[in-house]
Structure 1
């Protein structure tokens, strides 16, 4: 219970409400918390995703900690880097696709996502996938191959990296903590 509470506090402190000093003041205990959270994940707890997101927060993956879902019905909204149209990325039980969202007509002009093979993952995507695969969380590992894969813009047909574009649009500027 205490580990989950600590992880939740770290994720909650990432909100824009002036708690940056709290994070800086506990930087020396982050490696210990990361170790404890990782040990907890290895036991494949009920609520695995919550603990996984807590671990992401303690390692500086703030945006993924805040938005990563269970891939049953996840949607990520971003702009095409080539034509700037808003694209909805769906990863879930009803499909894995990019589309133009029309609130009355639904997702239009769907294009299938192209997952990256696990061996093609790099950086944070590889690390996240390796942990999920190690812990036999196949649903999470599979979803990450789509999230870190490629999408086609329904408007201009250009291809782009989903995670890279989402990160660029949602990561705070480098000069902020």
Structure 2
């Protein structure tokens, strides 16, 4: 951090001169609050700034245990910062991204993660690899739904695969009377695991290997097919998700 003039850089709230002091506070009883401040400044609502990229060497140090702080937090924040694979600043940070990727893979192989944290780690791996869309879009697995558009009639749809059931809904389905939601539902058909390919097969395999059965189940729906309840068009969920994120 001593080689960076943070006063010359900006984050979500202006000058980044406060960033070194925030990192210096890590390793104590207020870590949660500090990480919250770092997230707010460096990755505010998904936006990144000059200071965000400048923070990558520090985050790599934390991930590797060379600096105080929680490695999980470091790799997840760094993953969010590097999620846009076409960012022109990315090539300048190849060494840090490589280190962060190695640590994230090690963490991913450690058993006992909660399902949301496991998904967050998968997102970071994809971000560091430069996979692009799914490093962000995979967050829908944690929220148990995706918002897409029917490729035929362009109806706005919700693809749901969580506590409310598994279906495609035309319009918001939460809090509506059951008869109304039933009429507005289309089928959501999971992909057969043996028929998955490419990224879907890889992510499903990661989840199964880690004993993350709920994540694996969700992924079969994400890479499955939905039926639009408005026009009966059958569509690939993952393809429509990618359209929304490109």
Is the shorter-chain TM-score for this pair beyond 0.5, marking a shared fold? yes
1:16-95 aligned within 5 A: 20-46=87-113, 47-69=117-139, 71=141, 73-95=143-165
Question: 134-143 or 25-34, which moves further after superposition?
Answer: 25-34
Q: Deviations over 1:117-156 (max 9, x none)?
A: 1111111111111111111111111100000000001111
Q: Is it true that 1:131 corresponds to 2:201 in the alignment?
A: no
SS at match of 2:89: helix
Q: Is it true that 1:111 corresponds to 2:186 in the alignment?
A: yes
CA distance in 1: counterparts of 2:172 and 2:102, whole angstroms: 44
Q: 1:121 to 1:31 in 2, by over 3 A?
A: farther
Task: Provide the TM-score with structure 2 as the length reference.
Answer: 0.60
Higher helix share: 2
Q: Deviations over 1:3-39 (max 9, x none)?
A: 4314422322436xxx923322123554443333222
1:72 touches 1:93 (CA, 8 Å); kept in 2?
no
Q: 1:95 to 1:114 in 2, by over 3 A?
A: same
Q: Deviations over 1:59-104 (max 9, x none)?
A: 2233322232474652211111111111111121211110111588
In structure 2, runs of 5+ residues without a counterpart are 1-61, 64-70
In structure 1, runs of 5+ residues without a counterpart are 172-177
Q: 1:76 to 1:132 in 2, by over 3 A?
A: same
Task: Provide the TM-score with structure 1 as the length reference.
Answer: 0.81
4+ runs deviating over 6 angstroms:
none
Aligned to 1:174: none
Higher strand share: 1
Q: Which has the larger radius of gyration?
A: 2
Number of equivalences:
168
Q: 1:151 to 1:99 in 2, by over 3 A?
A: same
CA distance in 1: counterparts of 2:145 and 2:127, whole angstroms: 20
